[in-house]
Chains A and B, each alone.
Chain A
């Protein structure tokens, strides 16, 4: 039940884009057509699904204060949490590479769709952000961390596909010249964020 709650919450209420602005750069750069943005969205879901649980284990058994106690009494007081950033980013970069190779080997069709986006994802703030949020919110179990990862990914996917659909239409409308392109994209995104605020306060 708790897992489901986290899942729904991370899709709608704590939406990566509209509530925390994570992954905005690629969000604005890629959301020009629905097809490519769906590709990137899928890749993000996929990578979040893998990285968040792995980073959860890393945090639980290596980085947290006292996490090394499984090595013996002497390691009880070791606090490696200052290494968080470097470990998380290394894991993310490595996993993205690995995922790229595995997808290329076993699912060439999928690779054709995701291929160009995968390398970009290593530096997508949404991926790093999800791992850091997982750590700072102290999500207790592996299952819940996985749900949080998938949920955040799906939230990001929904946001970018909606945005791309709106931008496809917007190109045909009359906009003041200085607002064309990025300007109107920001304002549209703001208005969408207002709409997403209505999910706030929902509790399961």
Chain B
């Protein structure tokens, strides 16, 4: 039974409790990095890393943090982890770090991280908190990757920077949809994902 519950923590956030489409958290950074797949995947991994570890640390500390200053403590833990991520990216993937620019730093203020810390880590044991963090990060990552996939495929005809739409298609008049590369399209795509998800899952619909 206990095992099932832990599994639920991981899988729920992928669908019926998805942080982006259901809880509407963490959209700030979700959209800007989705023009191509590669930065989106790196971002997804970074966010999962930060949510998982910060959930774990805060959960370990939860009985020692005075509740009046908990926000500051949480911010410090999160920014420490984000600095680690940022330094690692700078050291091993400099180009990508430049591409993600300020959005790595913005993981600190990403509402998913703070939201999960407040809602879950402060009241649960370390292991479930860790799993919840991984689950939320993965739920966020899935949306990010779907949006990036659609935008890169239709916007520039590429995946991971390699051309996938054959030249023949362009010769018979197919054209890339440049609009996909513009910011508004990310918003509309998320809207459409929410639409599809809620059409299949009636309980999620708002009155």
Identify the A interface with B (CB < 8 A): 18-25, 28-29, 82-86, 88-90, 93, 119, 122-125, 127-129, 132-133, 136, 176-187, 189-191, 193-194, 197
Contact = CB atoms under 8 A, between A and B. Distances in A.
B185 A123 contact: no
A78 to B, nearest CB: 17
B138 interface: no
Contacts of B82: 85
26 contacts: A19-B183, A21-B27, A21-B29, A21-B31, A22-B106, A25-B25, A86-B80, A93-B75, A122-B75, A123-B71, A125-B109, A132-B106, A178-B198, A178-B199, A179-B191, A180-B207, A182-B21, A182-B206, A183-B191, A183-B195, A184-B191, A186-B187, A187-B192, A190-B185, A191-B184, A191-B188
A125 B110 contact: yes
A186 B114 contact: no
B191 A186 contact: yes
B83 interface: yes
Contacts of B28: 21-25, 125, 129
Nearest to B83: A85
Nearest to A127: B109
Contacts of B188: 186-187, 190-191
Interface in B137-194: 182-188, 190-192, 194
Given A25-B27, A85-B86, A184-B191, A90 B75 contact: yes
A133 B103 CA distance: 10
A82 B205 contact: no
Given A89-B75, A197-B184, A128 B108 contact: yes
Contact of A25 (B21, B26, B79, B205): B26
Interface string B96-128: 000001100110111100100000000000000
Interface residues of B, number: 48
Interface in B72-100: 72, 75-76, 79-80, 82-83, 86-87
B24 interface: yes
Nearest to B206: A181
Given A21-B31, A85-B79, A178-B205, A183 B109 contact: no
Majority DSSP secondary structure for residues of B touching A: helix
B16 interface: no
Given A25-B111, A129-B102, A132-B102, A182 B79 contact: no
A86 B191 CA distance: 33
Nearest to B26: A25
A89 B195 CA distance: 35
Nearest to A133: B102
A180 B195 CA distance: 9
Contact of A86 (B24, B26, B79, B207): B79
A22 B106 CA distance: 9
B45 interface: no
What 3 A-B pairs are tightest by C-beta distance, nearest first?
A: A186-B191, A181-B206, A178-B198
Contacts of B195: 176, 178-179, 183
Given A132-B106, A186-B188, A123 B79 contact: no
Contacts of A179: 191, 194-195, 198
Contact of A183 (B25, B106, B194): B194
Contacts of B83: 82-83, 85-86
Contact of B24 (A28, A125, A176, A178): A28
